[in-house]
Structure 1
């Protein structure tokens, strides 16, 4: 089940039924941050001047 495709009211229902949703959201945020950092490092490596 794709949470992103759910409508807003379905999302609030999910929040009630799924106590892990907040944790999952947090993990996804962390993953995005890690990916972004890796991406920034790559970009930094490509540039010769900072």
Structure 2
């Protein structure tokens, strides 16, 4: 798990134990996410995929 990130990034999502799950560049249109691909098969999987696609559009 990342314990620190560069100043140019900000944490944009964490899970319940505060593990970083997504980061966003402070100036550029760049986002990074961490997730298990099989999570799209969970009850919240479709919402996860939809939110990612909507944000990227």
TM-score normalized by the length of structure 1: 0.27
More strand by share: 2
More relative contact order in 1 or in 2 (CA 8 Å, sep 6+)? 2
Greater C-alpha radius of gyration: 1
More helix by share: 1
TM-score normalized by the length of structure 2: 0.26
